[in-house]
Structure 1
Amino acid sequence: MENIKFSDLGINETVLKAINVMGFEEPSQIQAEAIPVALQGYDMIGQAQTGTGKTTAFGIPIISNLSAKRGEPQALILTPTRELAIQVTEELGRIAKFSRVSLIPIYGGQPIDRQIRSLSKGVDIIVGTPGRILDHIRRNTLKLSSIKFFVLDEADEMLDMGFKDDIEEVIKNLNEDRQTMLFSATMPNEIKKLASKYMKDDIKHIAIVKNTMTVSTVKQFYFEIKQKDRFESLCRILDVDEPQSSIIFCKTKKGVDELVEGMQARGYIVEGMHGDMGQNQRMNTLKKFKEGNLDFLVATDVAARGIDIENVSHVINYDLPQDAESYVHRIGRTGRANREGLAYSLVTPREYIVLKQIEKTTKSKIKRKEIPTIEDIYEIKHRNILNRVKETLLNDDYKEFIPLAAELDDEFNLVDVAAALMKNIFDKELTYDYTENSLSVESKIRLFLSVGRKDGVNPKSIIEFLTSTAEISKQEIGDITILDKFSFIDIPERFIEVLMKKSKGKKLNNRKVNIEIANKK
């Protein structure tokens, strides 16, 4: 598995070119096993955890086998949420970079007249949510008779959200000659029934079983960031922690090159490693890092294989890995030889579900940390400068500079001179031209709702309840956990007051809903 490359999977040259531009070095396990099967046209169930690269696993075969026509759509991908629809569309767009394939996302909350105009111009691939796809079918603005490829993405989540009837109604509008691919993290009975009812008899089932993994005693934290602030967030973290030796992981070769260039421009002593670099170059870079001549090594998972260095204080996931196994391998680079190690991950709200899956699979707790503010950075830098000056004074290691100080004493107050010297040190140590004090993403509050599974609620009905009673956009609603008799939901802090005023005490499924701020565990 480790030696398999995308070029070994039978992908056409146009798509391979796009994969190379994206910078991926080798396929994940689900990609390596699913792509050849899908390219041969089999109906397929791909069972793998969230964050393992399932979009690429179905996107590559579809785009490789699809002939761009810009007429009636040839491929339909159903996703449970608008966020995932956008994400999948973006990923497919990168895979189709040189394929002249047209694609659009279709989801609720977006003006339907704009979608109708886009559909009327002709499109090859549609990525959409079940409700809005059905809306277009009923309006006669979307015909599915030409669909050759049909994908149910995150099928278990769609069923949990109550989309079973919608999915079946969409399927009834498809032709029977299509290729159907179903991707899911779990395989509940409802999915098995759906597969037996609507997929061909020679269906292929590819299951990537994840063994229970435990991680070492490395302390693990994550920082919730905005995508546009990813680089600055890293700089803030490094300015506060001042790691002695750190490996920073990126998902792609291109990501490594861009991050190294950005860090070097800020004065960090850093080099990168990835598969496009020659063996000698990689060995030289690794030698520098081992000998302490580099503070930071930026690498892909492939390039970091076999690295065994005892004094790595930090592992930083600049990009989250594709799966939990890669995460465990990454953070195992620190905390060696009975030393304490730290593992940090930068996570956007969209990536949070992948982080939770990693946490679940590894049976570990990844705690949240706030992105350092400018005040935090100044405080650390000021204290460190003072400590270094005191250490020099205590070591009596400054006598040769006394004549220089005496010259300045004739013209300036020596306290001012010391402050000016400290400012010069501070300016050299500050790596980024910070402007905003804080970059923190808005915090969410966890709420308790007095309805649960036994009351017939699901994520979809809870979202509809909150959007209709409190007029909160469903995009603002975070994680939903439904238990037998009650539920928990994460809501941005600014909506708490209006939700308590407008939703508390209202009925959901004929049951009066009590809402309280949940107790912290």
Structure 2
Amino acid sequence: MTIDLKDVVSFGNIEINKRVAQALTDMGFEEPTPIQQMAIPLLYDGRDVVGQAQTGTGKTAAFGIPIVEMVNNRYGGVQALIITPTRELAIQVAEEISKIGKYRRVRTLPIYGGQSIERQIRGLKQGVQVVIGTPGRLLDHLNRGTLRLENVKMVVLDEADEMLDMGFIEDIESILQATPAQRQTMLFSATMPDEIKRLSRKYLQSPEFITVSKQNLTVPQIEQIVYETREPKKLESLCNILDSSSITLSIIFCRTKRGVDELVAGLQARGYQAAALHGDLSQYQRNHVMRQFRTGQIDYLVATDVAARGLDIENVSHVINYDVPQDPEFYVHRIGRTGRAGKSGIAITLVTPREYKQLRLIENLTKTRIRREKLPSQADIHERKKEGIIDRLNYLLSEGKLAYYRNIVDSLVDEYDPIDIAAAALKMSLALDDAEDMTAESFGNTGARPGMVRLFMTIGRLDNISRADLVRILAEETGMPESSVGNINIYEKFSFVEVSEEWANYVISCLHRQTIRGRRISIEPARGRS
């Protein structure tokens, strides 16, 4: 593959086009993941590649970056073809490659069943350079003559083992036979059954085999907690956690440099002692920040994954994932910053609905179940403040040196109760506000018992689903305990399932629009009792 490498910049240890690098920066990528480090140089050299890697390892960018660099955007014909097992993956891959190719104006088109074929034909006629599609619909376009592949330079088989399980191998072979023999081919698969190996021997030319195994990821023995929040309330949620926790020093991780700067500004505006650590700081600035952090002048170090690499700081009581990391390895590296030298440590993760699936992937690959907790309420925060006040009072009482203040109190004890005098003194010095209850988000009336949410699911008896099946699916797909599943009512085409309130958002995010028993389902809060 011939790539124009003028105006290149470094992406970790890889040289890439500066326009692609700018797009990756916008997406929050600061350095390549292991699969990208191994695959991209081989693809630049024109080699065929077989990669054994699971979802969540960054494999889309591993083939997406070379595709975007290879594409001639002055020519409107199809130059790269990506075959995926499902329409959801086709859409996801198309979106990511479109983002990577934003500044090179690379045009992508996802092609899948269930969408108007006429709309897809119009899109192909307008000219696209990268087509991402499911085998059946791609074959349909080839048979109609609406998709032409004679100028394809690169072909990717994504999640090949999944396509094998779904019976697509014959379709894939038919599609590959419609592409030029001198193409470059990439095959990515989480497992390598014999049929996949046979396919690679037949259609790839002396491929390089690379493997990124996440099966052996182990997490440190530290306490791990996840709090559910919403993007608009994320900073407020973080502040509530900080105010209700016993934190000595904490590292807070964000995905991007811009995210770090924005969070530091937000924390400082609220009176927290926070400072940024990322790649745009000079060595002097970095040293100054680290000196402040080590000496306790700042309590919260807000950092990117790259900037925090190699840090070895004692007495970090908490690591906080403000953003869920894009790679499970990053999660393990992050939380390992606390609990050093046999000391206890706590890792806290804030998760928004769109990050649930990535968190679930981290749990699966690390074989860990992270404890869910409700966000601290204002009552919790005031209780924590009360404990802090008592600690300070105990210190002052043990230290003595109160003669001057005793004279003031003596002038009041004849008229007021000493306890009232002490309370008034506290109120005056600390200016405590009256506690205000925070009202939790409510699902409204779903017809469930107190503490539960009733969910409507578009799967029922016609899908040969039983109560035991639904409980097992909920537990396996979300990690929730079976005890958090309540009443289940199964009808012909749909079901109602009660789950505990703390798990409801998580269940909806993990299962909505997912395929169960070969059928794509919808799931949403029920509307009152049916």
Place the TM-score, normalised by the shorter chain, in its bin. Answer: 0.7 to 0.9
Match of 1:31 among 36, 42, 46: 36
* Matches of 2:383 and 2:211, distance apart in 1: 53
Describe the superposition over 1:375-425 as per-residue Cα deviations: whole angstroms up to 9, x where unpaired: x4212122123334445565459975997998xx99xx9899789769954
Match of 2:190 among 163, 180, 185: 185
The answer as to whether partners of 1:5 and 1:27 remain within 8 angstroms in 2 is: no
* Matches of 2:134 and 2:487, distance apart in 1: 28
CA shift, 1:308, in A, is: 1.8
Match of 1:502 among 493, 499, 506: 493
* Matches of 1:300 and 1:322, distance apart in 2: 12
In the alignment, structure 1 segments of 5+ residues that lack a partner are 447-462, 482-486, 510-521
TM-score (norm 1): 0.73
Change (3 A) 1:286 1:10: closer
Stretch deviating more after TM superposition (349-358 or 44-53): 349-358
Any residues of structure 2 matched to 1:47-446 within 5 Å, and which?
47-69=52-74, 71-138=76-143, 140-199=145-204, 201-209=205-213, 212-223=216-227, 230-241=234-245, 243-347=247-351, 351-352=355-356, 354-363=358-367, 365-372=368-375, 376-391=376-391, 395=396, 400=405, 424-426=431-433, 437-438=440-441
CA shift, 1:470, in A, is: 7.1
Describe the superposition over 1:120-140 as per-residue Cα deviations: whole angstroms up to 9, x where unpaired: 322122233334444544555
The answer as to whether partners of 1:479 and 1:490 remain within 8 angstroms in 2 is: no
Alignment-derived partner of residue 504 in structure 2: none
SS of the residue aligned with 1:67?
coil
The answer as to whether partners of 1:445 and 1:490 remain within 8 angstroms in 2 is: no
* Matches of 1:495 and 1:177, distance apart in 2: 58
Stretch deviating more after TM superposition (77-86 or 64-73): 77-86
The answer as to whether partners of 2:154 and 2:184 remain within 8 angstroms in 1 is: yes
CA shift, 1:211, in A, is: 7.5
Change (3 A) 1:366 1:245: farther
CA shift, 1:102, in A, is: 1.3
* Matches of 1:296 and 1:281, distance apart in 2: 16
When Rg is computed on C-alpha atoms for both structures, the one with the higher figure is 2
SS of the residue aligned with 2:316?
coil
CA shift, 1:488, in A, is: 6.1
Change (3 A) 1:253 1:160: farther
Give the residue type in structure 1 aligned to 2:223. Answer: K
Alignment-derived partner of residue 501 in structure 2: none
Which structure has more relative contact order (CA 8 Å, sep 6+)? It is 1
* Matches of 1:289 and 1:331, distance apart in 2: 18
Alignment coverage as a number of residue pairs: 463
Change (3 A) 1:160 1:222: farther
Change (3 A) 1:240 1:388: closer
What RMSD in Å do the two structures reach over aligned CA positions?
4.5
SS of the residue aligned with 1:337?
helix
SS of the residue aligned with 2:51?
strand
Change (3 A) 1:140 1:243: farther
In the alignment, structure 2 segments of 5+ residues that lack a partner are 1-8, 447-451, 496-515, 518-530
Change (3 A) 1:115 1:330: same
Change (3 A) 1:377 1:32: same
* Matches of 1:77 and 1:155, distance apart in 2: 11
CA shift, 1:99, in A, is: 0.4
* Matches of 2:359 and 2:486, distance apart in 1: 25
Change (3 A) 1:393 1:344: closer
Describe the superposition over 1:157-197 as per-residue Cα deviations: whole angstroms up to 9, x where unpaired: 33344443443343344333322111223222222122122
The answer as to whether partners of 1:69 and 1:124 remain within 8 angstroms in 2 is: no
Give the residue type in structure 2 aligned to 1:104. Answer: L
